[in-house]
Amino acid sequence: MELVTGEKRGDFAGHSRRVSSVRFSPDARLLASGSLDRSARVWEVPGGRPVAVFDHGSDVNAVAFTDGGKGLLAATGEVIGGERVVRLWDVAAARVVREFAGHDAEVSAVAYHDARGLVASASADATVRLWEGATGRCLRVLSGHQAWVRSVQFTRDGARVLSAGMDSTVRVWEADSGRCLRVLEGHGEKVYAVAPTPDGRSALSASADRTLRVWDLESGACARVIEGHTEPVRSVAMAYDGRWAVSGSMDKSVRVWDLASGRLAWSALATGNVLGVALSPDARWLAAGTYDRRVLLWELVWR
């Protein structure tokens, strides 16, 4: 598979403050966005018709679909009973199904593992929490980061959890025990995002040091440093084959990289600083959330 080109297909307007997160549903028919305007929105792909708006009492820092796109998790800074909250919404019914409360500071990232029914959340309280999705019960707290945790992801098999933080590290955790397996060090500044490859052997991280790093998760070694962005890299997303990845940066660009070589395959300029990126499961659609309140959509053409 080789990338031929990318064509801009959408510029979805509706948010009134910067868009920090975007995610596709598994069938790529829906795109969710989270914003500092205290809302999460769901849009049709590719037309951009608004499907739902979920209002919160605080910034929505991250979103993630659950149950094949039927549910939407929203990570917020909202306080309930003295604890910060992740909300699970029923997309079709537009109602709150469950709340996951426990973090001591705002929740910055959220992920869901469909097969295992697990929710992972990351927070400015320097912890990652794993939750039972069906009940909202906190299963374990992953402690070790020395500063705000900005990103969390499951490996495809759900056996491990990856987190990235303002302490300039990426950490690999065993989901069942909560044990820290590896600490990946090498970035010169805070790490904003991490994404594992589908086979779970490698991961890609994005940093304020303006680089991406490819990590061997078995050895903990940095396999490649990818340079090209001219400002902090805020987000990454992985293609289903593990060869291609997307990055979004404060330099207002989205870029597609060949991870095997570190080669830049394609890039486009957004309307503002790029805070979040997402790839549809089939790698046809690329979305970006920007500082200037936009949700942008490109169609990628492969051969």
| 161 has pLDDT over 90 | yes
Instruction: State both tokens at 20.
Output: 């920090």
**pLDDT at residue 81 is higher than 80:** no
Query: Dihedral (C-alpha) 83, 86, 91, 97: value to the nearest 10 degrees?
Result: -50
The two three-digit tokens of residue 181, written as one number: 């397996």
Number of folded domains that form the chain: 1
What pLDDT was estimated at residue 170?
98
Confidence bin at 197 (pLDDT 50/70/90)? very high
pLDDT for the residue numbered 82: 76
Task: Give pLDDT, residue 235.
Answer: 98
Instruction: Extract the runs of DSSP E, i.e. beta strands, from 179-273.
Output: 180-185, 191-196, 202-207, 212-216, 222-226, 233-238, 244-249, 253-258, 263-269
Section 267-287 average pLDDT: 97
CATH of the domain at 198: 2.130.10.10
- Confidence bin at 80 (pLDDT 50/70/90): confident
* pLDDT (tens digit per residue) in 85-97: 999 999 999 999 9
CB burial readout 27-52, b (16+ within 10 A) else e: ebebbbbbbbbbbbbbbebbebeebb
Q: What is the mean pLDDT of residues 280-294?
A: 97
Cα 182 to Cα 161, 163, 167, 169, 172: the distances in Å are 11, 11, 15, 10, 5
| Mean pLDDT, all residues of the chain | 96
Q: Which domain holds residue 29?
A: 3-302
pLDDT of residue 144: 97
